[in-house]
């Protein structure tokens, strides 16, 4: 049974291990490295709007949901719309293929709707992740170059879902 809950300081070490494992898994497959380290992401567990995906008692993924959009991907008008940005989503690579990222994204779409947002948005510099996000129901808003790399901005409407975690 999957659930989501806010991250706490006691999750720090588990999040750091999970993130380091995911970063290695991605590097082994040729993904562009993330700008943050596993320790930096884990350090947000006690103070950022970070959420944990649990399978029973086992933490198997994390994400951060913020209500501020950056200027690199979004227009001024878009930044003023009620939206939530789904960022720093990491799942357990030992469970690859179990659609954990899809579960987190679906939960975020439902969460954002309950929180009064109109959109759920994502940004990536990795083409393969942009394609994966499209498989999750996100639509490409724009692709532009930023600091010499492609930048993909995607969104999907926030909406209530009957079973967002697929339980």
Q: Do the beta carbons of residue 50 and residue 108 sit within 8 Å?
A: no
Domain 2-157 sits in CATH at 3.40.630.30
46 DSSP 8-state letter: G
User: Which residue bears the tokens 């690579």?
Assistant: 93
Domain positions in the chain: 2-157
pLDDT of residue 108: 98
- pLDDT above 90 (res 15): yes
pLDDT of residue 8: 96
pLDDT in tens, 50-81: 999 999 999 999 999 999 888 899 999 999 99
pLDDT of residue 40: 95
Percentage of the chain with pLDDT > 70? 100
Tokens of 119: 């959109």
Phi, psi at 17, each rounded to 5°: -65, -50
């Amino acid at each position: 049974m999957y659930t989501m809950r806010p991250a706490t300081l006691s999750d720090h070490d588990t999040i750091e291990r999970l993130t380091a494992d995911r970063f290695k898994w991605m590097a082994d497959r040729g993904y562009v490295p993330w700008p943050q380290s596993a320790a930096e992401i884990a350090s947000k567990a006690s103070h950022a709007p970070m959420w944990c995906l649990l399978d029973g008692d086992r933490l198997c993924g994390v994400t951060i949901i913020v209500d501020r959009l950056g200027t690199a991907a979004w227009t001024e008008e878009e930044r003023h719309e009620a939206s939530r940005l789904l960022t720093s989503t990491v799942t357990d690579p030992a469970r690859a293929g179990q659609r954990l990222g899809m579960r987190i994204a679906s939960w975020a779409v439902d969460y954002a709707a309950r929180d009064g947002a109109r959109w759920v948005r994502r940004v990536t510099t990795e083409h393969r992740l942009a394609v994966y996000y499209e498989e999750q129901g996100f639509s490409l808003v724009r692709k532009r170059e930023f600091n010499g790399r492609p930048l993909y901005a995607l969104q999907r409407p926030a909406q209530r879902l009957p079973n967002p975690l697929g339980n």
